[in-house]
Structure 1
Amino acid sequence: MEKSCEVQIMVESTGLPKNLIDDKEAEFTAKVNADPLMLIGALKETLYTEFQPDLEYEIWKSQGDLQKGE
């Protein structure tokens, strides 16, 4: 959070004018950044694709115990 604040202060100190967007554009951007495939109704596929490498790593770290339910 401190780094974000530092960057914000540095940007604002340049004196550049802010380019504000309307609520509709902000909502669209938030949806796309949260889950880009949600726009085509593929939410479950996105969640699986994002989580699968983490699950495989945890199974590997547990030497298969996680998959066995131990």
Structure 2
Amino acid sequence: MAKALVGYVGGPTPDQIRESARLRRRVADLEAEVLRLKVENDGLLKALGERVEAVDELLEPLAH
């Protein structure tokens, strides 16, 4: 009875299988995008840190 209420009599339909595959691909695409953005962010943070160090070196003589 519970299976009939949920709609799983006879297993998943072809539409459900296609939708599940589409969603798995979308999740994989989003995970790849998150990884790409993390790598890009790490590079930007490194570049920013290098620039801050360069500015600190330029300002150091003025502090004395």
TM range (shorter): 0.3 to 0.5
Greater helix content? 2
Larger Cα Rg: Structure 1 or Structure 2? 2
Question: Of the two structures, which has the highest relative contact order with CA contacts closer than 8 Å and spacing of 6 or more?
Answer: 1
Q: Compute the TM-score of the two structures, normalised by the length of structure 1.
A: 0.32
